[in-house]
Structure 1
């Protein structure tokens, strides 16, 4: 299982970004994790997938911006280790 921690910078708050990430995870399938806003204006994503190809597709789509009004200027992606999630949710 591949697990990554991503931090998205740019126009990522107030534009439906978290909902877009959530919808993207469901659309691609095979991705579980969490997404939430940080106080510094970034959005953090913990994602896990059994297939590296699935994870690559997910990351590529996030870089494009998952909603029409979002614009990702920088996406920091790092391998991570966190407890497994049974689903994908928007966290508060």
Structure 2
């Protein structure tokens, strides 16, 4: 029997700071792929990076922790995350 925790989720995270032009999207793709997530990381015009990831809740939560960890390239000032049901329309994890 499936529980809520077994259902795939989607997290959208907006990462603020010096995160463009420093390898941040590449680093995020590598971490998300290691966690078995699908989705993308893309630069936004205002200097943020938007990360959309789908998969197991635990893996998505781990990715958000990693984004906030101070280990990514560049300098992360703030990560704002929004959680929703997975849409199931993503394959792999790519840099956009």
TM-score, normalising length from structure 1? 0.85
Correspondence 1:46-61 to 2 at 5 A:
46-49=52-55, 51-61=56-66
Matched-pair contact (CA < 8 Å) for 2:33–2:92? no
Which has more radius of gyration? Answer: 2
* Gap runs ≥5 in structure 1: none
Count of matched residue positions in the alignment of Structure 1 and Structure 2: 88
Find the partner of 1:36 among 21, 31, 42: 42
From 10, 15, 20, give the equivalent of 1:13.
20
TM-score normalised over the length of structure 2? 0.82
Shift of 1:65: 4.2
Over the residues paired in the alignment, what is the CA RMSD in angstroms? Answer: 1.6
Partners in 1 of 2:94 and 2:23 — Cα distance? 14
Q: What secondary structure, in the 3-state scheme, does the structure 2 residue paired with 1:61 have?
A: helix
Q: Following superposition, which runs of at least 4 residues in structure 1 exceed 3 angstroms of deviation?
A: 80-83
